[in-house]
Amino acid sequence: MSIDSGHFRELTANLKENLSRCAQNPDVDAVHDTRTGTRRIEAMLETTLRELTPAKEEVLYQSIHSLMRLLKKIRRAAAPVRDLDVHRKLLEKLVPREKNHEPASMADILQDVPLAPATQQAEDLDAWLKHQRHENEAPLQKSAAKWAEKLEKQMAGVEDALRAKVASRGGRRAPVKRPAKVALDNFALLATEMQLLDALNLHDFRKGAKKARYVAESGGEDESAKAVGGALKRLQDEIGDWHDWLVLADEARRALGAQGTELTSRIETERDQHYDSAMKMAARLRGRLMGEWLAKDQPLRRQRLPRRPATTNNGQ
């Protein structure tokens, strides 16, 4: 899929703005938008890279790789901060914070009734998550402004290489493929590479589906692109919910140890339930999207990988 220059500039401008926000105050929205922005640009660039011949288009190939290295650095700084924001919201949903509720009676206040074990453990875990968030936001805030400047230069390098490529063709641009078609191609390749899903590879499958979703969403109001993007988002969200509970369970064990038995047990129950839901959703939407791809008779270099034995690991 050739890069849509207008869409590319829009995504880059948005990311640059969000980096500036992170430099001032890396709040929940700024961090979320920064992380998502890197993913959207990466999805576009990775799809373009697959169509290039490095030996013949070395300048463009190298300029895209340089930009992707910067995007990866930004994403890795934003990711742990965003994850901690999500986990704190999950925790509050599971065990609402005591301060959000009125005491049952004046007698409770006078008697200083202790918190229920799970509630106290949730407050302790939230404090730990908040501290981790503060520790992880510092590197992002420190480097955000510098990365915003580099982003502008790297983007200019890619655009210059794209113009040179067009000029070498006598001004003829490569035909633009429909985003829905490219997204289905990408998903079909992903599904072929990962034929058996389990707790060990489900998160990686989600990340691949997310990239395909961002490609589809670049199609704007195109109905086919919206339908493909919507299906991929549902798949991504369902698997993402499981993975967030999986990581939160690990964080609870690290932060609370044996003192967090009640809370950790409740989190693990949520984790297992979401794993089952994610696997069902993956099977259903995988079948649907592969059916759409086959119905369109779209060419793809199918890669047959050795089938891995199934596992009953449920994420523990």
Asked if 259 and 121 touch (Cβ cutoff 8 Å), the reply is yes
| pLDDT of residue 115 exceeding 80 | no
Q: Give the pLDDT score at 112.
A: 47
Confidence of residue 298 (pLDDT cuts 50, 70, 90): very low
pLDDT in tens, 150-168: 999 999 999 998 888 877 7
Confidence of residue 36 (pLDDT cuts 50, 70, 90): very high
Neighbouring residues of 232: CB distance < 8 A, sequence distance ≥ 6: 183, 187, 209, 210, 212, 213, 216, 285, 289
How far does CA 181 lie from the centroid of its chain?
21
Asked if 5 and 17 touch (Cβ cutoff 8 Å), the reply is no
pLDDT in tens, 48-106: 888 887 777 888 899 999 999 999 999 999 999 999 999 999 999 999 865 444 444 44
Where along the chain do its domains lie?
Answer: 1-176, 177-303
What is the per-residue burial (b if ≥16 Cβ within 10 Å, else e) of 99-115? eeeeeeeeeeeeeeeee
In this predicted structure, which of 14-23, 104-113, 224-233, 257-266 has the lowest mean pLDDT?
A: 104-113
Amino acid at 127: A
pLDDT in tens, 185-213: 999 999 999 999 999 999 999 999 999 99
CA 52-294-234 angle, 5° bins: 85
Q: Give the pLDDT score at 172.
A: 59
Q: The whole model's pTM is what? A: 0.82
Place of tokens 């140890």: 257
